[in-house]
Structure 1
Amino acid sequence: MLPAPSCQKPPPHPIRPQASRPRGSTSGRASRAGMKRRQLLRHAIALPAALPGLASSRALAAIQGGPRVAFGIAAQTRQLLTDPGFRDAVVRECDILTPELEMKWGFVEENQGSANLAPADQMSNFARRFGKRMHGHALIWHKSTPDWAASQMMTNPDWRIIDAFIQRIVPRYAGVVESWDVVNEPFADNGRPDGLRVSPFLTAFGPDYIRRAFERARSLAPTAKLYLNDYGFLYDDSESEARRTAALRLLEALKKHSVPVDGLGIQGHVDLERTGTFRQETFARFLKSVADMGCAIRISEFDVREHETAIPVEQRDALVADATAAVLDVAADCPALVSVTCWGLSDRYSWLPLPSETAGLNRGLPLDSDLRQKPMYRALMKALRR
């Protein structure tokens, strides 16, 4: 479907200001309310003046009535520490933070015995400071396995190698990380009857590595929600159908043997070139099958990949918003949906490339590079309040 969507992303594009700015002015009442808010938060963070005509996701929830499904984003610690505008947008908009890189094994322990936990500590401290929940990503993932660990697993299979990392990372963030991607991207289109990806984990320990990882994570995080997470479930084609079938079979087997899997993370990487093969009824049936097993559902890595950039920005944004609504309206109708996390908040830090360097930034995230809400943002929030 897509190239390794949650892999260690390339460096973000440079910040390129967009042409237009929002116009208008706030009322005196809104200005006074904003001043009070800034006074309350002065010692926590310097928030920018409210953008005219815009409301945060929380404000929209209050205006439109009632709670919504939780909204999260993936970010990197350095973005939060070095970009005040982006940091403020995250504080304003998000319920849940997912570290894009900072809790992955290859990032934490690139060299055996030398742990780099400072960036993850900084993000968890940020989450505590501003009352954000955190989702841990990811304990077991073939692409974030250090070379030394993969080599040892292949030559001398020893579960203690994996166990040492899980034990190092999970208890450390027990007070702030409320859920984990325990096994990330275990499926592949390789002809295996069980649909499992051939990885160092599968080669060394067989399919049972999944059970062992979940049981170890549960022993260290008894109250956290534990997820399988993968991509390739969206479309009405043979590839996606094979992945959906493999996921349902695995979840059924894990549940049958009382493995502590709480839910499925569905990476919502939408590709505008493939929207013609998306069928809402097919996706809805899959979600219902997952929910009928008692599994929670996270849309875990939502973004939209563009391909056509020679059309006006307004048309591009409308296409992105329509694709967002098509997927998330179905997800929001499923009672098992607990959250939607975008893989990024602003185009400023999008990992998605465009066909050429002159095309600018991919516009497949809720805020543009100037941190202004786009039609995608409104489609997203509308779906979360269905």
Structure 2
Amino acid sequence: MTRRDALLAGAGLVAAGLTASRAAAQRAPIPFGSAAQIETFREDPLYREALKRYCDVIVPMNDLKWEALRHDRSKFDFSGADELIAFAERNGQAVRGHALLWGEALPPWAKAMTSRTEAERELIRHIEVVVDRYKGRIATWDVVNEVIRFDPRPEPMRDTIWQRLLGPEHVEIAFRTAARVDPKARLVLNDFAFEEPSPLIAARRQTALDLVRKLQDKNIPIHGVGMQAHLYAENPIDTHGVQLFVEALGKLAVDVEITELDVIDWKLPADIATRDRAAASLVSTYLNAVTTARPPKAIVTWGLCDRYSWIHETFPRRDTAKARPLPLDADYKPKLMMNVLNRYRRSAG
């Protein structure tokens, strides 16, 4: 009997008066967190205070990626990650590790690898060193990040240095190594674009399910799928498709986590109230679809405050208005989105 067979056999299956502070939501069954940028963390005391006040979970946004840790092939630089993790530990917050394997954010030497032997050796060494350093301190890892090709029909795997040199086995190598080094860690496959109504997105959901089953059939532990949830404000949510996806993962005894939530509002009107209502409504629709099927293990936004977001540069508006993708505005005041997050955190348990 494979591990998946064993799991299948044993597996069962905006609110008034809500405040946005961590203290007010401390009994919420679903932890809330944010990715944190080390540069902003060091420079802005209000940013540090907001992370402390609102978050149960901290995710080092970039400082556990290869580019930050391995700019010198001969040694590891843990300075940024150590700083953020120490902050989380002082404040009783959990830490999610992001990410042990990704095809991007690689140092030049890693991009220049040419052989299977070299790639496998470096991948295993990297995971062994990083996971061992934070064993017992980081309980959840995004082991593999964004391995699904945007359109997985017919080729499901994204074209990366790892795929070119190791083939699809690079996913197995990463999960197997992480599980060996820290058997108690939760191991997650993290990817994007699972929520819109189209055949392409449906194929992405199916590909994620197929990857989970392949790992389980080889008795390789996988505990969760991270749904990034970079939501486009102009696009609808495929509520039925999301529900079926989360339910299918549940039948495999695999949880979901919302790992990089934000709202891309570049095509909405400039009016702030209009955008904030639309963003809150979209997040509500999405969270309702997920939680109706199965409560996520965590809800994490990709940043906490509108002042600091990748969306400003990646999805710039054509007018002079600033993007408002996150639960706190540029002055660290909670928005309607934060009320929605707290409502689902409280009700979905």
Fold in common (TM above 0.5) = yes
**Residues in 2 aligned to 1:282 and 1:171: alpha-carbon distance in whole angstroms:** 38
Contact 2:30–2:345 at 8 Å: present in 1 too? Answer: yes
Provide the TM-score with structure 2 as the length reference: 0.89
Per the alignment, do residues 266 and 191 of structure 1 end up closer, same or farther by CA in structure 2, a change over 3 Å counting?
closer
Report sequence identity in percent. Answer: 31
Q: Secondary structure at the match of 1:197?
A: coil
Contact 1:184–1:230 at 8 Å: present in 2 too? Answer: yes
**Residues in 2 aligned to 1:132 and 1:209: alpha-carbon distance in whole angstroms:** 31
**Residues in 1 aligned to 2:275 and 2:119: alpha-carbon distance in whole angstroms:** 50
Aligned to 2:99: 138
Superposition misfits of 4+ residues, deviation over 6 angstroms: none
Match of 2:257 among 291, 298, 312: 298
Contact 1:352–1:362 at 8 Å: present in 2 too? Answer: yes
Q: Secondary structure at the match of 1:195?
A: coil
Residue 253 (structure 1) aligned with residue 214 (structure 2):
yes
Residue 332 of structure 1, CA deviation? 2.2
Provide the TM-score with structure 1 as the length reference: 0.81
Aligned to 2:248: 289
Residue 281 of structure 1, CA deviation? 1.4
Aligned to 2:289: 330
Contact 2:30–2:295 at 8 Å: present in 1 too? Answer: no
Residue 279 (structure 1) aligned with residue 215 (structure 2):
no
Residue identity matched to 2:243: A
Residue 238 of structure 1, CA deviation? 1.4
Q: Secondary structure at the match of 1:228?
A: strand
Residue 179 (structure 1) aligned with residue 143 (structure 2):
no
State how 1:356-371 maps to structure 2 within 5 Å.
356=317, 359-371=320-332
Aligned to 1:116: 77
Residue identity matched to 2:169: D
Residue 350 (structure 1) aligned with residue 303 (structure 2):
no
State how 1:1-386 maps to structure 2 within 5 Å.
55-61=19-25, 67-154=28-115, 157-189=118-150, 193=154, 195-275=156-236, 278-308=237-267, 310-353=269-312, 355-356=316-317, 359-386=320-347
1:3-61 Cα distance to aligned partner (Å, 9 max, x none)? xxxxxxxxxxxxxxxxxxxxxxxxxxxxxxxxxxxxxxxxxxxxxxxxxx984443333
Aligned to 1:40: none
Task: Report which structure shows greater RCO (CA 8 Å, sep ≥6).
Answer: 2
Residue 126 of structure 1, CA deviation? 0.6
Contact 1:54–1:373 at 8 Å: present in 2 too? Answer: no
Unaligned 5+ segments in structure 2 are 1-16
Residue 155 of structure 1, CA deviation? 7.3
Residue 70 of structure 1, CA deviation? 0.7
Q: Secondary structure at the match of 2:331?
A: coil
**Residues in 2 aligned to 1:59 and 1:111: alpha-carbon distance in whole angstroms:** 41
**Residues in 2 aligned to 1:365 and 1:154: alpha-carbon distance in whole angstroms:** 42
Residue identity matched to 1:273: E
Contact 2:135–2:182 at 8 Å: present in 1 too? Answer: yes
**Residues in 1 aligned to 2:58 and 2:189: alpha-carbon distance in whole angstroms:** 18
Residue 114 of structure 1, CA deviation? 3.6
**Residues in 1 aligned to 2:295 and 2:272: alpha-carbon distance in whole angstroms:** 35
Of residues 204-213 and 95-104 in structure 1, the stretch that sits farther from structure 2 once superposed is 204-213
1:194-221 Cα distance to aligned partner (Å, 9 max, x none)? 5111211111111111111111001111
Structure showing greater Rg: 1
